[in-house]
Amino acid sequence: MTKNDNTPTLQLPAEWETQSGVMLTWPHQATDWKPYLNEVIPCFAAIARAIVRKEKLLIVCASINEVKTALGNIDESRIIFREIPSNDTWARDHAPIGVRLNGNPYIYDFTFNGWGLKFPAAADNQITKKLFESRAFSPRTGYRDMRNIVLEGGSIESDGEGTLLTTRRCLLSDNRNNYKSKTEAAACLQMIFGLKRILWLDKGYLAGDDTDCHIDTLARFCDPRTIAYVRCTDKNDEHFKELSQMEQELQRFKTRDGKPYRLIPLPMAEAIYESGERLPATYANFLIINGAVLTPAYNSSLDEVARSQLQTTFPDREIIGVDCRPLIKQRGSLHCVTMQLPEEFL
């Protein structure tokens, strides 16, 4: 059958493709970070400085002056500031998701409902629309209101070639979209992102995680043929069984040309506790940017193991470690607080 020339082409870019910038939503007194601001603001500043070395940075904040003070001596010409109310700082899940429609940049504005109505998100859910109305994006960038669908950026991984990697527990969880089946969810995702196929993980989780198993804490595309994932080798660790089963699922997946994926194991982070509860520390929560990969560090000997694995996987990129111990106190890490914006979007 000959393809109709009028058929629109859709692409969900991969994270490793050239970016115009990254978005951060800055912590402030009215967020859950209030008890930890002295710890977490330097962490956000370190992330911001690393990004600005490579590309633009879009910062949503309560006070531009406060953020500038925290950043200190930095190239502000590469930063776009917008004062917009926010409930919290998890930009991966409330920020716009960039797609290309017939080659043109568009931001999708999905509903963010606090990971299935677990936390307040009314202000976060307005950020993307307010950013567009404030002309934070390039004049070429279009806007699509997708708020009839609940979707978080941390729940999906794209290879840029029509394959999506995700988890059943998140996409089919209660209080999001009430899909009747995996087939119904897949049909929706394929339509809005122009996908050719979806790889579903049924296993894998992190203790302390509020997201119902976001894929970006467990397994990540590094290129169309490579997946980095968390491997647990300690049989006494509570994660051992589930992550071993997840590894087996990944081993069964095939690329579009029918070959096994190159699998890159990342170590299970050493257990970190807060008030007796294990926190969701993970090395899979890295961020790919232009010329670099920002990787979480947890003041552990395993930091270097993860860094080395990622350097092997991304030989042409600088690997930059960021101490993310403050971030996991609120159940997230480096990738969770950032959202990349593809080329031409800023």
**65 found inside a domain:** yes
**5 found inside a domain:** no
Q: d(Cα 341, Cα 337) in Å, to the nearest integer?
A: 13
Sheet order of strands, 292-297 included: 287-289, 292-297, 318-323
Domain total in the chain: 1
**279 found inside a domain:** yes
**88 found inside a domain:** yes
| Dihedral-angle region of residue 78 (phi above 0 means left; psi in -120 to 50 means alpha; beta otherwise) | alpha
- Per DSSP, the three-state class of 100 is strand
Give the contacts of 77 (CB within 8 A, at least 6 positions apart).
none
196-246 per-position pLDDT tens digit: 999 999 999 999 999 999 999 999 999 999 999 999 999 999 999 999 999
128-168 per-position pLDDT tens digit: 999 999 999 999 999 999 999 999 999 999 999 999 999 99
**48 found inside a domain:** yes
Q: d(Cα 106, Cα 113) in Å, to the nearest integer?
A: 22
Q: d(Cα 266, Cα 293) in Å, to the nearest integer?
A: 14
**Domain with 67 in it: what CATH number?**
3.75.10.10
**295 found inside a domain:** yes
C-alpha torsion 51→56→60→63, nearest 10: 90
Position 5 scores a pLDDT of: 58
Q: d(Cα 234, Cα 268) in Å, to the nearest integer?
A: 9
Give the contacts of 334 (CB within 8 A, at least 6 positions apart).
47, 285, 286, 287, 294, 295, 296, 322, 324, 327
Position 8 scores a pLDDT of: 76
**3 found inside a domain:** no
**116 found inside a domain:** yes
pLDDT band at 3 (very low <50, low <70, confident <90, very high): very low
106-137 per-position pLDDT tens digit: 999 999 999 999 999 999 999 999 999 999 99
Q: Measuring CA to CA, which residue among 295, 211, 308 is closest to residue 265?
A: 308
Range of the domain at 333: 10-342
250-274 per-position pLDDT tens digit: 999 999 999 999 999 999 999 999 9
pTM: 0.96
